[in-house]
Amino acid sequence: MQTVLILNGPNLNLLGKRQPDIYGRETLADVEWACREVATEFGFGIRLLQSNAEHQIIDWIHQAREEAAGIIINPGAYSHTSIAILDALNAFEGPVLEVHISNIHKRESFRHHSFVSQRADGVIAGFGVEGYALATRRMGSLLRPR
């Protein structure tokens, strides 16, 4: 069975526990549940991971080259700073979808640019945590075009 990695960057471990006005009340465990349901419909598996460390996210992307059919990534604040994560994603051959819970374009100007978007095959922003399940659905279409 194909696996899709759902990678989450810094501070997203706090999801559902702080700033519910911006990020909502659902946790990463809720996100994992919702994405797994969609992935099962399409016949693939998911692995959801979170790290506050840039090098860890890069290492997971490298591993994905051998182990994953696609990557869904919310790089958190590294979206706006990390050429290293962009470089790692550029070495991955499968589809890459970028998710932002908040609408980064409606927020501070330093959030408007994402290095990762240069590699992403699609970007979802401002759909709340539902964006992850939507991205998982899209990943299903990309991996198994009808």
Beta carbons of 126 and 102 less than 8 angstroms apart: yes
Applying CB under 6 A, which part among 28-36, 44-52, 53-61, 76-84 lies near ligand CA2?
A: 76-84
Question: Does 8 engage in binding with ligand CA2 (CB under 6 A)?
Answer: no
Question: Does 4 engage in binding with ligand CA2 (CB under 6 A)?
Answer: no
Closest CA to 12 of 66, 68, 73: 73
d(C-alpha 43, C-alpha 20), whole Å? 32
Beta carbons of 71 and 35 less than 8 angstroms apart: no
User: Which one is catalytic: 100, 105, 112, 132?
Assistant: 100
Residue 51: DSSP 8-state: -
* Closest CB to ligand CA2 among residues 23, 44: 23
Residue 23 is a catalytic residue: yes
CA atoms within 13 A on the CB side of 84: 9
Q: Which of 5, 6, 7, 12 binds ligand CA2 (CB under 6 A)?
A: 12
- Restricted to residues 45-74, the positions that interact with ligand CA2 (CB under 6 A) are 74
d(C-alpha 70, C-alpha 22), whole Å? 27
Residue 100 is a catalytic residue: yes
| Token pair recorded at residue 114 | 């994402």
Return binding residues for substrate: 74, 80, 87, 101-102, 111
Point out which residues bind ligand CA2 (CB under 6 A). Answer: 11-12, 14-15, 18-19, 23, 74, 76-77, 79, 100-102, 104, 111
